[in-house]
Amino acid sequence: MNPGKQKCEILRRIRMDIAEKYGLRYNPTVCTHEGGCSGTCPKCDAEAEDLQKQLDSRGITDIVLSEMRFETIEESEDWFKLEGDVTPPSGDELITVTMGLPAPPLVSRRKKRVLYKECQIAGITFHDLKDVWDELYEGAELALVRQKDNKHDKYAIAVALADDYDGDPDDFDFDFILGYVPRTENRHLATMMDLGWAEAFDCELSQINGSNPYKGSLYMKIYMVSKDEEEIEETEHLLPVLEFDDEQIELFKSSLKQKGFSCQRWGALLPDTLNLPDEGDKVVILHRNETDAELYLTHIIAKDKNAEFFVKNEERVIDDCFWFILTNVVGPVLVSNDEIKFLNNEPINKVRPEEYISQEATEKLYRLIYTSI
Sequence spans of domains, the chain: 3-74+111-232, 241-370
CB burial of residue 193 (10 Å; 0-12, 13-18, 19+): buried
pLDDT score at 107: 47
Q: Is the pLDDT of residue 234 over 90?
A: no
Q: Over 90: is that where the pLDDT of 74 sits?
A: no
Query: Is 272's pLDDT higher than 80?
Result: no
In the prediction, which pLDDT does 197 show? 81
Of 34-38, 79-83, 107-111, minimum mean pLDDT range:
79-83
Q: What angle do CA 253, 315, 250 make, to 5 degrees?
A: 15
pLDDT at position 85: 36
- What average pLDDT does this structure show over 141-150? 93
Written as one string, the DSSP assignment of 299-334 is EEEEEGGGGTTTTTTSPP--SSEEEEEEEEEEEEEE
Residues 356-371, mean pLDDT to the nearest whole number = 87
- 260-287: buried (b, 16+ CB within 10 Å) or exposed (e) per residue? ebbbbbbbeeebebbbbbebebbbbbbb
Q: Which pLDDT score is estimated for 137?
A: 84
Grade residue 326 by pLDDT with cuts at 50, 70 and 90. very high
Question: Averaged over 249-265, what is the pLDDT?
Answer: 92
118 or 105, higher pLDDT: 118
- Between 336 and 311, the more confident residue is 336
Instruction: Of 15-19, 72-76, 102-106, 140-144, give the range with the top mean pLDDT.
Output: 140-144
**Residue 145: how many CA atoms within 13 Å on its side-chain side?**
28
Q: Supply the pLDDT for residue 106.
A: 45
Q: What's the confidence (pLDDT) of residue 18?
A: 78
pLDDT at 348: 94
Highest averaged pLDDT of the listed ranges 70-74, 264-268, 310-314, 319-323: 264-268
Whether the Cβ atoms of residue 189 and residue 181 lie closer than 8 Å to each other: yes
pLDDT at 177 > cutoff 90: yes
For the domain made up of 3-74+111-232, give the CATH fold.
Alpha-Beta Plaits (3.30.70)
